[in-house]
Structures are given as C-alpha cells and as structure tokens.
C-alpha cells in the first residue's frame, strides 16, 4: 500500500478509504480505552489524529509509541467528530520504526525556548516552529527562481572559492590545502601560496557580484542565488558567517530601474508567502508576532519611500532622537538610524540612495558631484538593511582611478576591468540577504532561527 502524506489526507482525503501514513508522534493521550495520537510528517503544520482502540493492540507495543517515536499506521480514514480537524484515522495496524525514550528525548514537552532549540539544532526540525520556517524557506527559494525565470533572467552559478580578495565586502575565510603545521615559506618567510592548491591565495566568496557582472554584460539579465561567507566576528541577531544571497545584475539598468526591480521583487516574494504559506504564517503569527500578517500586507500596499542618504542624514540630525552613534554626513548609518527612518519617521520600507563614495565599494557609479555614488540600500522594519545595491561604474578610466585611489591591486581585478575595456555598458544590480528576508516573512527575531544549521562565531556543531 502506498503512503499518503498528512497534508493530502487533511486537504482531500476521502472518508471511508483505507490509508497508510508515516510520521513522528507529536503527542499521545489516553482516555477510557482509547488512545489519541497526533502524527506529523512535516508536509504541513497540522497533525493528523490517529484513534487507537487500545483493546486491539499489544499493551507494551502501544507504550513504546510515545512522543517523538516514528511510526507507520494503516487504518480507515473517517470524518472526525473532534473539533479542529476534518478527518482522522482509525488505526488497524501500527508499526514502530523507532522509539524515543521519554526519559531522554529532548522534545518531550512543548514550549521550549528558541535558545534551547539552537542547542539541539539536530532535532529542532521536528518542532512546529522549524517545520514552518523550513517550509517557508523552501517556498521563498522557489518564488525567487520563479520571479526571475518568468522575467527571462538567467540563473548563473558563480564560484564559491574565489581567488580575488578585492570584493571589499568583508573579512574572508581562507581555503587552503597547505600543511598547517609546516607550510612552505617564500623568500620573505611568509606562507608561499604559489605552492597551494590553486597556486595562489584563495578564499570563500563574500559575494557573487563581480562574476555576475561578467555574465550580465553578455546575457543582459542574470541572477545568482548561492551561499556567501563573511568572517567578521559580529555576534548580532542579523549576521551569519555563512548566509545565502540573491544577486540580480542587469545590463542597461540605471539606478531607478534597479530600485524598481528591488521593490517589485520584494513585494512579489511577500505576496507569494501570503498566498502559498497561509497555514505556516498563521502559526507564526499566533506564536511569535501577532502583527506579522498585517505587516506583510502593509508592505505590499505602500510604495517604498525613496530618498537620498543626504536627506536621510538631515532627517536624523533634526529628529531630536538620542542615538548611541552620532549621525554625521560621511559616516555609515548604524542599524538604529536605519530603523528610526523606517519604523518611526516614514513607517514603511525606505530606499536610501546616493551614499558618500568613501563608505561604499569601489565599483559603484560615481556621480557628477564628485562626492557620492549611485548606491541604494533597501531598509526594512525590524531589520534595517535587507538589500544593498548600486548602479556600477562602467567608465574604464573612472573605475581604474577609484581602484588605484583605494590601493586595490590591479592584477587581482584585471578580468573585471576588462569588461569596461570591451563593449562596456551601463548596468546595475543588488544583493538580497536571503535570511534577512526570512526574518521579515516569518516574524522571527534571530537570524539563527531562519536557517537550518547556523554558522556563527564559535558555532559550527551541527
Ligand atoms: P550590514 O551592514 O547589515 O552588515 P553589509 O552592508 O555588509 O550588511 P552587503 O555587503 O551590502 O552587506 O550584502 C548585501 C546583503 O546581504 C545585505 O543587504 C544583507 O541583506 C545581507 N547580509 C550581509 N551580511 C550578512 C551577514 N553577515 N549575514 C546575513 N546576511 C547578510
Ligand atoms: Mn550593504
């Protein structure tokens, strides 16, 4: 007999039919010779109820079917009399795949803190919360590919191991096969990377953008969606050492087009979640953030506020608000500043543009004022920066000047500079942090709770 998923049974199971389900026991209670088992197989947040006439089963075998156990159940699907479920299964045969000793099973009781669940990340997918988050992660990944595919973008796989350390997006993790006890040394007594696997120093990528640009200046509209790595020692609720980033890059787009694409993209993903993740959203809304669904609708219904960094700084300086970090033109905004603009001042997502060139990357398009670049950050409530992007500098001489000003070695970037020597074109793109998006759509507060196995400083156990 073929197994049916719980989701299918609950949505469209035919009462009166014989069914087979397999899953993990969420709870079991006994009442007057009848046992009620709540069974979940992760296909949906809801459990299916198994009704067991205790008299028909071996007492010891039944005992082993406790919370956390994995079982298969054959039985008759019937209309449920209890409230909260449409159908239930009257068990005829049960098979125990794996017991879970109630004395030691860590998820014996409900209501564990998220902090505790992080310590048992190997088991937390079995909770309602992580089931919901992981199903939504999947739905959002699919929606991202669908959005770009429907628009004719090409998905590009950029390398995870990079030989350039010029991206400037942060500290990197070294990739090496050299002997860590006795590495070969060069004439200066430093590690000689000419002897290393790739014949040079290599690291895990911090962004696929530079390679993305190479392909966009051939295929016009591309995106990447892959893991990125930052070795910064930042222990915040919004930073991971390993996270996933989506980076569209579009030839012939200028900054306005880039902002339009970012806004359309985020709104598409949010409406996709509202349409396709109803059950999980309702659960997360009830458990973690009573305004979650309302907030998602709110973002859909309002245009993002667009203004320049300079205007943003003015507003912050005149706000009368006391900030931990002082706001001055020319300094990077802290998340407290970003969140003031979004949550207090405009009360909607904000796109800040035209940042001082000193605080942004070398590849951003230089403006005529000589002071700013065509950058854009999308700021979201509760999160701060969710997207960072820009129009790119397409002029070879200007780009080279900036590279030299910053003391970046040309030989590391010759291939990137070449795109400006041969058939250069205006182009623009951005990076969306996937886990920051997940924070917003799930209402979770800590980025460690929206990725199955978080990588943060001093934490790579699971
Ligand atoms: P922040 O200032 O918040 O540290 P950033 O400006 O260093 O971010 P970018 O280099 O612009 O980040 O990366 C693009 C996007 O990737 C960001 O807008 C954010 O959504 C996401 N992101 C960046 N760093 C991290 C991280 N350590 N963990 C998770 N997401 C990140
Ligand atoms: Mn940024």
pTM summary value:
0.96
CA dist 354 and 339 (Å) reads: 18
Tell me, rounded to whole angstroms, the distance of Cα 109 from its chain centroid: 29
Residue-wise pLDDT tens digits, 210-254: 999 999 999 999 999 999 999 988 899 999 999 999 999 999 999
The CB of 169 under 6 Å from ligand 1? The reply is yes
Give the model's pLDDT for residue 319. Answer: 95
276-293 pLDDT, tens digit per residue, is 999 999 999 999 999 999
pLDDT digits (tens, 9 = 90+) for 84-101: 778 999 999 999 999 999
Radius of gyration for the alpha carbons in the chain, expressed in angstroms and rounded: 27
Residue identifier of the C-alpha nearest atom 12 of ligand 1: 388
Question: Can you list the domains of the chain with their CATH numbers?
Answer: 6-108 (2.40.50.140), 124-171+206-449 (3.30.930.10)
Instruction: Give kind and range of the element (H or E) at residue 24.
Output: strand 18-31
Ligand located closest to 439 CA: 1
Q: 434-442 and 255-276 helices cross at what angle (nearest 10)?
A: 50
Q: Which residue has the tokens 């949906």?
A: 44
Of 360, 376, 379, 388, best ligand 1 pocket probe by most atoms within 8 Å of the beta carbon: 388
Predicted local distance difference test score (pLDDT) of residue 368: 97
Alpha carbons 161 and 157: distance in angstroms, whole number: 12
Q: What separation in Å is there between the alpha carbon of 387 and the centre of ligand 1?
A: 8
- pLDDT recorded at residue 411: 85
Q: Match 């003031």 to its residue by tokens.
A: 340
> 204 forms bridges with which residues in the sheet?
161
Contacts with 413 (C-beta within 8 Å, 6 or more apart), sequence order: 164, 166, 403
What is the average per-residue pLDDT within 318-340? 95
pLDDT at 371: 97
Atom of ligand 1 minimally distant from the CA of 206: 10
What average pLDDT does range 41-49 have in this prediction? Answer: 98
Given this model, what pLDDT does residue 233 score? 86
For residue 409, name the pLDDT band (cuts at 50, 70, 90). confident
**How far does the centroid of ligand 2 lie from the alpha carbon of residue 388, in Å?**
4
- Give residue 304's Cα distance to chain centre: 21
pLDDT at 166: 63
**Ligand 1 atom nearest to CA at 245:** 16
The residue whose CA is least distant from atom 23 of ligand 1 is: 433
Query: How is residue 267 written in tokens?
Result: 């709104």
pLDDT for residue 170: 77
> With 0-12 CB in 10 A as exposed, 13-18 as middle and 19+ as buried, what is 451?
buried
pLDDT in the model for residue 81: 82
Q: How far apart (Å, rounded) are the C-alpha atoms in residues 425 and 197?
A: 35
Strands 202-204 and 161-162: antiparallel
Task: Specify the ligand 1 atom closest to the Cα of 170.
Answer: 7
Task: Tell me what the mean pLDDT of segment 2-10 comes to.
Answer: 97
pLDDT of residue 167: 66
């Amino acid at each position: 007999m073929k197994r049916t998923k719980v989701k299918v049974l609950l949505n469209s199971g035919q009462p009166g039919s014989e069914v087979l389900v397999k899953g993990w026991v969420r709870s079991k209670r006994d009442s007057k010779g009848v046992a009620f088992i709540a069974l979940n197989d992760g296909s949906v947040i809801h459990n299916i109820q198994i009704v067991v006439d205790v008299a028909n089963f071996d007492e010891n075998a039944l005992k082993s079917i406790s919370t956390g156990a994995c079982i298969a159940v054959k039985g008759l699907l019937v209309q449920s009399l209890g409230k909260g479920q449409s159908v239930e299964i009257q068990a005829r045969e049960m098979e125990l795949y794996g017991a879970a000793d109630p004395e030691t099973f860590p998820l014996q009781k409900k209501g564990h803190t998220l902090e505790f669940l992080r310590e048992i990340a190997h088991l937390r997918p079995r909770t309602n919360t992580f089931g919901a988050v992981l199903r939504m992660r999947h739905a959002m990944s699919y929606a991202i590919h669908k959005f770009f595919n429907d628009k004719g973008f090409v998905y590009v796989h950029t390398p995870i191991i990079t030989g350039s350390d010029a991206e400037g997006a942060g500290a990197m993790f070294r990739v090496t096969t050299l002997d860590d006890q006795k590495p070969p040394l060069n004439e200066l007594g430093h590690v000689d990377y000419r002897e290393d696997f790739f014949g040079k120093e290599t690291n895990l990528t911090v962004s696929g953008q530079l390679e993305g640009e190479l392909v966009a200046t051939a295929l016009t509209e591309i995106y990447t969606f892959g893991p990125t790595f930052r070795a910064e020692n930042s222990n915040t609720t919004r930073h991971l050492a390993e996270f996933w980033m989506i980076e569209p890059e579009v030839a012939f787009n200028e900054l306005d087009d880039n902002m339009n694409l970012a806004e359309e993209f985020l709104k598409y993903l949010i409406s996709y979640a509202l349409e396709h993740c109803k059950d999980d959203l309702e659960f997360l809304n009830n458990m973690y953030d009573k305004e979650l669904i309302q907030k998602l609708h709110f973002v859909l219904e309002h245009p993002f506020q667009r203004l320049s960094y300079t205007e943003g700084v003015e507003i912050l300086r005149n706000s009368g608000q006391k900030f931990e970090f002082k706001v001055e033109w020319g300094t990077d905004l802290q998340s407290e500043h970003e969140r003031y603009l979004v949550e207090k001042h405009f009360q909607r997502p904000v796109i800040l543009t035209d940042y001082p060139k000193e605080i942004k990357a070398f590849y951003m398009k230089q403006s005529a004022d000589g002071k700013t670049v065509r950058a854009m950050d999308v700021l979201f409530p509760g999160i701060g920066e969710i997207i960072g992007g820009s129009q790119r500098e397409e002029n070879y001489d200007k780009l080279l000047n900036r590279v030299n000003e910053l003391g970046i070695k040309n030989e590391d970037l010759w291939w990137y500079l070449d795109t400006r020597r041969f058939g250069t074109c205006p182009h623009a793109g951005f990076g969306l942090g996937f886990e920051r998006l997940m924070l917003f759509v799930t209402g979770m507060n800590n980025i460690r709770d929206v990725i199955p196995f978080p990588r943060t400083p001093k934490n790579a156990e699971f």
